[in-house]
Structure 1
Amino acid sequence: MLAILSAALLFWAWVAPAAAQPASGKESPEQVCAGCHEDYVAGYAASKHGVTADARTPASKGSCLACHGQGALEHAKQGGGKGVGGIFSFSDPKVPAETKAAVCLDCHQSGPRVNWQLSSHATNDVACSSCHSVHSGDKDKVRIKATQFQVCGSCHKTQRAQINYPSHHPIKEGKVVCSSCHEPHGSVGPNMLKKETVNETCYGCHTEKRGPLLWEHPPVRESCVNCHTPHGSINAPLLKARAPWLCQECHSAQFHPSTLYSGTGLPPAAQPGGTAAQQLLARSCLNCHTQVHGSNHPSGPRWTR
């Protein structure tokens, strides 16, 4: 009796792993993988990757095997485990980022991805899977406005801190996101900006600053970041320093005194009993030069109107 029981146990131990495998032509790769990765398969099936009617998707090119390789079946056959069966894993730190990205680029070749190879992300060992959660379907954090900054901020910590400064672009408020200005897959512009220059990117929202203007302010025409810090500043509105100190970085030799707040050398106050110093208290160059971005007024060469 004991011999029969032992033989039965041995038989069960031999057939149990095989029972989890698909009979030829009866189970799809998704069904095999769902045995352990049910959540991943469900997210994949709900995403664009899982649309079988689209000839461009992994679902029409072998499903899980299209990205994870034929080793995925051997991986399942051997009971799973990290690296078992030669499966291609995007979470394996030993696999180079370039190799991981190459799998995605096999399909995602058009649009902004054409600049990926020369992007700052690609040259700094960032892979597509470093930012994207492929199996999360429509819940990919980097594609959702409310959560995109969490993904970007996990690496770009300086910019994450700047967004918390008193003056900042309304990212936390949900009005803009990192990809409103930046193209994360690479671009021909500096710092992966969506446009060719800083100014062209800014003009996308700040169209009133574009011009053409009769009287232009040269540093403004050159680059907005000459005066502004785009992610955040302790000085409103996103200025690199408070005026007049910001202005005096360029305008150090002029008819105004170097310490403008003293009022020395300026005309008497217009109001009776007032002084120039009182007029200028807690104010700046912008008190007079209101059109600092440029002016179209015939009498505006000093940007005062």
Structure 2
Amino acid sequence: MTNTLNWGIISTAHINRRLIPPIKKSGRSTLVGVASRGPAKAQAYAAEWGIPRAFGSYQELLDSPDINAVYIPLPNNMHHEWAIKAAQAGKHILCEKPLALSVAEVDDMAQAAQDNNVVLLEAFQYRMHPQIAALQKTLGEGLIGEVKHITTRFSFVLEDETNIRLIKELGGGSLWDLGCYNVSFCQAVAQSDPVEVFAWQKTTAAGVEISLSGQLRYENGIVAHVHCGFDRSFRMSATIEGTTGDIDLSSPFLPDVDVNPSGFSHIVDRVETRIDTPVKDPYLCEVEALEAAALDGVPAPYTLAHSRGNIATIVALYQSAEQGKPVAVE
């Protein structure tokens, strides 16, 4: 087993700017190349970011024997195809969220990873960050008693109709782009997936969802509310209500990114106590999680079972919003 991940990035997506520095910083990773749909763009991007090799197609990068891990930040509708191709090429995979657009796609991708003995990890960076582990430990110790209710919000204004987030055929929609964090966070707190959901949505003339509010009911009695949208100002927050107190998070999904601090507040009888957590780049956390899984055989804290449950919940929320009735999560 090799002791280094030699990375290739499939596409020149804007989100790459978050992952390139951590890959270069990590002592167990090397950034080898980047691919685009043509050589000129790949070469220009490689020169801009100091990446040694440029590949003129995604498949050319996958065919390189010098690369054993890939990052896939492609549009949502392309994750399934290229994750499977990467697995078949023997590459470990960090794939952007949402991992896929259906449970069947998740199952296909997981099977391809298993068949080819590679690691497939969904890039929910905050699930690898110390903040979520500290939160789960705090809840497990009973600091706020029994968890009863979770509320999450994630939004920002997006009006550019050419943005891939607003193109339905590419897997656009605020729930796929933002709300996937909300649903995943509730999963982390409830330690399970919901059994039933109900949702309301607002769509554009083109049929793209730009705002969704949903209720999630868990078998253990927890009820969660998720709110996401491209139609209102930036907001990111989470509140967990228990029988003896509450916990508030101002940066549940982007801890230690830009001006968003990690840590959370414990509130009892309107008295607030700050609980700090280790400061760390969450994108480095996901790089290290793939390293540990691929190089050491250490299971990632966010598994494909988690990914499958998250996608199943999102699909059910969309079905509920379209049908106007509660939907069971399958």
Higher Rg = 1
Do the two structures share a fold, i.e. TM-score over 0.5? no
Q: Which structure has greater helix proportion?
A: 1
| Superposition TM-score, scaled by structure 1 size | 0.22
Larger relative CO (CA 8 A, sep 6+): 1 or 2? 2
TM-score (norm 2): 0.21
